[in-house]
């Protein structure tokens, strides 16, 4: 079997195919399209306008805890976050302190094995 010369394409052409011939050219929605002002070969991503039209409002971002509420000063927001963390930590420590030991749980099972 002979080896094919890699510099020659299947059709005998030595140039690269045009994107328009492959169906990979400009798209109208959400893809690449030609810049109206440039007219040259500049392309930009057209999905940016779609992202901006469906952008969530500030209130939605605050409700989803992405943004902090601006009614509280930034200095107090940090202290408030630390306080919430400390309250949660104390609550979990209290619950862990009242949790039964592994030996007590093993004694409750009739065969004496530990539950996983």
Q: What is the pLDDT of residues 27-70, one digit of tens each?
A: 555 455 555 555 555 556 668 888 888 899 999 999 998 988 88
CA torsion sign for 17, 23, 28, 29 is negative
Element (DSSP H or E) covering residue 43? strand 43-45
Measured between alpha carbons, how far is 6 from 47 in angstroms, rounded to an integer?
A: 38
Q: 7: which DSSP letter?
A: T
Q: What is the pLDDT of residues 83-106, one digit of tens each?
A: 999 999 999 999 999 998 888 888
Q: What value, to the nearest 5°, has the Cα angle with vertex 81 and ends 77 and 86?
A: 145
Measured between alpha carbons, how far is 32 from 50 in angstroms, rounded to an integer?
A: 13
């Amino acid at each position: 079997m002979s080896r094919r010369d890699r510099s020659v394409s299947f059709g005998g052409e030595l140039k690269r195919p045009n994107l328009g011939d492959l169906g990979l050219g400009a798209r109208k929605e959400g893809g690449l399209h030609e810049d109206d002002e440039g007219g040259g070969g500049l392309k930009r991503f057209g999905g940016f306008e779609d992202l901006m039209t469906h952008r969530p409002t500030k209130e939605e971002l605050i409700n989803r805890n992405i943004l902090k509420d601006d009614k509280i000063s930034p200095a107090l927001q940090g202290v408030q976050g630390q306080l919430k963390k400390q309250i949660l930590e104390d609550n979990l420590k209290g619950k862990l302190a009242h949790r039964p030991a592994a030996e007590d749980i093993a004694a409750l099972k009739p065969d004496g094995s530990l539950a996983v």
